Amino acid sequence: MTAPRILAIDAARRMGWAYGAAGSKPTSGSIECAQEGASRGAIFSGAGRWITGFISANPVDVLAIEAPLPGSFVQGQTNISTATILLGMPAVLEFMAFQLKVYRHIRINQSSVKKHFVGHGQGDQKSAIMVKCRALGWIGKDDADQSFDRSDALAVWSFVEADVAPRFTQPVDDLFIASERRKREAEELSRRYAPAPIPERF
């Protein structure tokens, strides 16, 4: 079995994405599908153009999209216009992916992603997810894009990696991250204090 190439998306007007083969370090970012205040059609069109260009340039085996949370609509936390966009975006993305012969589509429950990535499935975990992405080295401290859209997409990518390709799954638990951090710190100290090379000639 080869490692599936996963494209994970946090679908909204400002859309986060994460991509890579299971077992590898994912690339990620976020894009604005349209300007703030744009029509639904403009936002859907921007999302469709983006995913068409991305899949045309990058082979994808699995498209994973974080499913909108119906409870937030019922409780009045999301207005009708925004809810329509959040519900429509996955359909647009899946339609375009299907046209490009990406046939495996997964919709991921938000609470399942949060539980997998930071250990807590309830409440707002965006800051904790960002901290975890930085600790894993998936988002650099100097990266221009420090958006929650990006980090949320990375959390979705990690969940799907564990779900569809368990033999390639990378640990994201705190003990593993602490071990990796110590390893990086040791490597940095080794480089910093390495003796300067002695020139062959003076």
What are the pLDDT digits (tens) for 125-175?
A: 999 999 999 999 999 989 999 999 999 999 999 999 999 999 999 988 876
pLDDT for the residue 76: 54
Q: In this structure, what DSSP letter does residue 166 have? A: G
Instruction: Report yes or no on 162 lying in a domain.
Output: yes
Instruction: Report yes or no on 131 lying in a domain.
Output: yes
Q: What is the mean pLDDT of the chain?
A: 89
Most confident of 51-55, 139-143, 178-182: 51-55
pLDDT for the residue 194: 78
Instruction: Report yes or no on 28 lying in a domain.
Output: yes
Tell whether the model's pLDDT for residue 69 goes beyond 90. no
**What's this model's pTM, rounded to 2 decimal places?**
0.84
Query: 85: which 2 tokens?
Result: 């966009």
pLDDT for the residue 60: 98
Instruction: Report yes or no on 200 lying in a domain.
Output: no
AA identity, residue 17: W
pLDDT for the residue 121: 78
pLDDT for the residue 74: 47
With contact defined as beta carbons under 8 Å apart, do 62 and 55 qualify? no
Provide the domain count of the chain.
1
* pLDDT above 70 coverage of the chain, percent: 89
Regarding predicted confidence, which is higher, 195 or 78?
195
* Phi and psi torsions of 95, nearest 5°: -60, -50
CATH code of 128's domain: 3.30.420.10
Q: What is the DSSP string of 119-180?
A: S--SS--HHHHHHHHHHHTSS-TT-S---HHHHHHHHHHHHHHHHH-GGGPPP-SHHHHHHH
Instruction: Report yes or no on 149 lying in a domain.
Output: yes
- CA distance to 60, 163, 195, per residue, from 156 (Å): 15, 10, 43
